[in-house]
Amino acid sequence: MKNITLAAIIAAATTTSAAAMDLGATGLSLNTEAVGEYNIDTENMLMTVEPTLGYTLATIDLSVGALIPVYDDDIVIGDNLPTLDFGVSKDVMDGWKVYGEVSYDLEAEDRGDIVIGTSFNF
């Protein structure tokens, strides 16, 4: 019975779903990713939900998201305030973009590192 329960938990926890929705012609979009995973080595199950609100202004993409822990070997939703992730990116050319990111931990009331960078996709 324990093996069947473990297999069911692993199957449920390893699913990932993502949804994206443009909110009319306003430039706003709402994306949500739900992740469930089971670490076999540490025997730890983790489930998170990450809603992200995006806004496109001309060629600049702005985003704010929050990673919300739901389950970490026990139900943890609502135990801690989430960390907000802010980002801005701009496509320079096809496959090349520049970006900036920063986070703010609402629980610790502390800003994370400010990161700027560039990425190439080819």
pLDDT tens across the length of the chain (122 residues) = 444 455 445 545 555 555 567 776 788 999 999 999 999 999 999 999 999 999 999 889 999 999 999 999 899 998 989 999 999 999 999 889 999 999 999 999 999 999 999 999 88
Q: Say if residues 50 and 32 touch (Cβ distance below 8 Å).
A: yes
Model pLDDT, residue 12: 54
pLDDT at 37: 94
List the structure tokens of 54: 């995006």
Sign of CA dihedral 26, 52, 35, 39: positive
- At 58 the pLDDT is 86
The pLDDT assigned to 36 comes to 95
Residue 97 has a pLDDT of: 94
- Cβ–Cβ < 8 Å for 79, 68: no
Phi and psi angles of residue 74, each rounded to the nearest 5 degrees, phi first: -170, 160
Phi, then psi, of 11 in degrees rounded to 5? -65, -45
User: Residue 81 contacts by C-beta under 8 Å, 6 or more apart in sequence?
Assistant: 105, 106, 107
In whole angstroms, give the CA distance from residue 98 to residue 112: 19
Smallest CA-to-CA distance from 56 within 84, 20, 82 is with 20
Which sequence spans correspond to the domains of the chain?
A: 2-120
